[in-house]
Structure 1
Amino acid sequence: MIQHFSMRLLLAGFTFFYGILFSQSLKNMKILDAEDGKPIANTRIILPNEVIYTNDDGIALVPEQAKNLEVSKTGYQSEKLETIVPVLKLKPLYRDIQEVKIVTIDIRKLLEDVNRSYTKTYYSKPSLYNIIYKEKNTYDNELKLLMVADAKFWTESNFYNYKYKLRNEYEKFIQIELNNIRFFKSAPVNDSLITSTTKVGKSDDYIGFIFMNYTLKRLVDHINFNGSKSSGRIVNDDGEEQTIHFSVRTKSGVKLIGKLLYHKADKVITHLEIEYDQSEFAPIKLKNSAGEEFQFQPGNGMMSLDYYKKDKKYIPSKTMMRSDNYIIYKGEKHRRTFDRDITFQTFSETKEKGLANRIDVHKNMWENVPNHEQKDSKIALSKEEQEFINEK
């Protein structure tokens, strides 16, 4: 279950903004649905040495001279381009599942098989990535915090290490070093129930959902719970890759709805997306620092992982985490949300055993001191995010 929420709100209107310095000319590239013309968020654009994603408005900043682009999004036909185009329309693979031949599949066996051969298919040696770290929070459906930063990401093996986790030594297999905080702004919220919880080591899911092996094991654990029911269906098969929808319902009331892309020849999952429905959970009675009673209601959540093949092994390109909850206080109900995106822009093998200036896991991300190393991070804010940053 996702139960991590970050609503640490600082001084009103306090904004850090480091200008985006690019060493090359950039152009907007907009990705649209070919049938309804709507923008497609989180579309992946793979360049020869870099990965870029579109924002919520379907826009990505791409180097003007970029060549040999691969554009892909789950549920759409992939496209290969020799050069950048201002607008690209992707064709959906399918619209109505009822019109597609449905083939059932043993989803538990597939997940267990992929996890069992994990180190053979996914890159499993020390790695160094340049990443874009993005976090935003809302309160009663209004954006209240936004942070976008360049960072370095080091991992011992691209693998969630349970041995180090049990010792609370996350830094032995994952480290992050902040480069530049490109955008940071928080707005005030008059709610004494909001507390600071954005710490890297705060929860297993907060770290775990960055790694495919953790997510696979957690999903299998849900399927294996006593009384759980699960199902899997192949809804598209193009000969090389299958699109699979699945669902899990546990006896405790957790409902999981997911989809994945499975590469048949390599026997690897390249995309995994799970939605968590916790609406059946009863509110929990808590007390604030003043001793006042309130109710905490777990909400829903979503996580996803994208991987792509590079030099015969699969490496991450993006991980997303979404969650919400509700506070019922003095008869009023308030909704809070937490969003985190990590885009793995560049990858390199490394012999280093960590990062020299890694963040302090006992602090919020934005409380760590950046090293101000400039990167061509190609950050494109959505219209909503830009308006929030521009507000006084």
Structure 2
Amino acid sequence: MFSQKIKIIDAETLNAISNARIISTNNVYYSNDDGFVLLPETSKNLEISAYGYETLKNQDYNTILKLKPLYNQIDEVKIVSIDFQKILKEVSDNYTDIYYNKPIIYDVEIKQKAFENQELKVLMIADGKFWSKNGMYNSKDAFNDNFDNFVQLQIDNLRYLKTEPYQNFVREKKPKISHDNIGDLFLHYELWRTHRLSKNKGAKISGKLINEDEEDQEISYSIKTDSSYVYSGKFIYNKKDKAITHLELDFTQNKSEPRIYKDENGKEFKRQLGNGIIIFDYYKRDDKYFPSKISFKTKGFKTITESQTFEYSSSRDVIFKSFETTDKKGLENPVKINQAYWTKLKISDDKGDVLLTNEEQKFITDKNININKNDDEN
């Protein structure tokens, strides 16, 4: 079966649409940052959707697919307040009735990137399998560092791995990886955390209904816990199924005071928190909802020394391409999901159907960068 490159564009501006989802015969695909995606030529009855655009259904294969922007937004003067806390809590409380909650194995594609001072330093693209016990985060197992009890990742092919040395000269003991790194893989975890933040004493909150049709409501929300931390975003709420099918959580922390640390030689340096966004996409199959993509992006995190400032950003995308239900209690060869597992893997000669962006292709083909170097500090 041959795959060809197609492009998803805005029907009016003709601009490329990134992160457009294409569902075809129970397989999930996403357009990259340049709007391109590889699809089998035999693809039929495509469903193409993207946030802010009308969904195309039963669309046949074509090398260019156009999406029309949504226009039926509520006039600003008619925007009404809505109790987003109540929706978050109801969805969280009824999670197992809405989302698939039994053992399952997904075929996934994972991409991670890291930047220092706007320069790409790490690119890792792999595919493999993702096992989940019930689609939920288990805080007790996580606290005891037993992530394998409820989530496992297996890498079948490390398609691309390239690293460039960081310029940051600060050396310190590695901090323990936050459990958020794993929690951010689960919608249930984010619903719980966002609702908890909104209930903090003194938190200033607001929720607005900004768009509505027969099926869905688009809701924006904001949570300001103090002058330094703001959490905001939007989500799509299916009124009939009482399900959240798209969630975006933006966190703004760059107005907080830098924190003082000491390096391994006892010399002080500062760390400045930055901002980020977490995005979840879900779709319905039969009577349950399944994840199609989870994205996590950060920017503006800084290490500050007496002589220099180093700014960092990063991203992680997990595409859940297909799935099969299972009675297995895990995967055959899981990696340590809460570590930089790719440092010990061999790069595959088979690049599969990975479609690099222009930026990624330039990074890979730049001969000044050592493609075989694995930086285990990231």
TM-score, length of structure 1 as denominator length: 0.88
| Structure 1, 215-224 or 86-95: larger mean CA deviation | 86-95
Closer, same or farther in 2 for the Cα pair 1:346/1:371, shift >3 Å?
Answer: farther
Residues 178 and 368, structure 1, Cα contact 8 Å, conserved in 2: no
Q: What residue in structure 2 maps to residue 33 of structure 1?
A: 10
Give the one of 105, 121, 131 matched to 1:154. 131
Measure the CA separation in 2 of the matches of 1:44 and 1:250.
34
Measure the CA separation in 2 of the matches of 1:25 and 1:301.
37
Give the one of 73, 80, 97 matched to 2:57. 80
Cα offset for 1:370?
Answer: 6.2
Aligned length: 366
Matches within 5 A, 1:176-215: 176-193=153-170, 202-215=177-190
Measure the CA separation in 1 of the matches of 2:263 and 2:52.
44
Closer, same or farther in 2 for the Cα pair 1:191/1:375, shift >3 Å?
Answer: closer
**1:1-48: CA deviation from partner (whole Å, max 9, x where unpaired):** xxxxxxxxxxxxxxxxxxxxxxx2111111112232221111110111
Q: What residue in structure 2 maps to residue 287 of structure 1?
A: 262
CA RMSD, Structure 1 to Structure 2 (Å):
2.2
Q: Which has the higher contact order (CA 8 A, sep 6+)?
A: 1
Closer, same or farther in 2 for the Cα pair 1:220/1:194, shift >3 Å?
Answer: farther
| Structure 1 gaps, min length 5 | 1-23
| Structure 2 gaps, min length 5 | 368-378
Closer, same or farther in 2 for the Cα pair 1:274/1:85, shift >3 Å?
Answer: same
Q: What residue in structure 2 maps to residue 299 of structure 1?
A: 274
Matches within 5 A, 1:1-392: 24-94=1-71, 98=75, 101-193=78-170, 202-251=177-226, 253-324=228-299, 325-361=301-337, 363-369=339-345, 378-392=353-367
Cα offset for 1:311?
Answer: 1.9
TM-score, length of structure 2 as denominator length: 0.91
SS of the aligned residue for 2:273 comes to strand
Identity score, percent: 39
Closer, same or farther in 2 for the Cα pair 1:194/1:50, shift >3 Å?
Answer: farther
Residues 152 and 337, structure 2, Cα contact 8 Å, conserved in 1: no
Cα offset for 1:223?
Answer: 0.2
Measure the CA separation in 2 of the matches of 1:350 and 1:37.
43
Measure the CA separation in 2 of the matches of 1:288 and 1:189.
16
Cα offset for 1:254?
Answer: 1.3
Measure the CA separation in 1 of the matches of 2:211 and 2:306.
49
| Structure 1, 91-100 or 240-249: larger mean CA deviation | 91-100
Structure 1 runs (4+) greater than 6 angstroms displaced: 194-198, 370-375
Cα offset for 1:360?
Answer: 2.6
SS of the aligned residue for 2:274 comes to strand
Residues 298 and 315, structure 2, Cα contact 8 Å, conserved in 1: yes
Residues 54 and 60, structure 1, Cα contact 8 Å, conserved in 2: yes
Closer, same or farther in 2 for the Cα pair 1:95/1:301, shift >3 Å?
Answer: farther
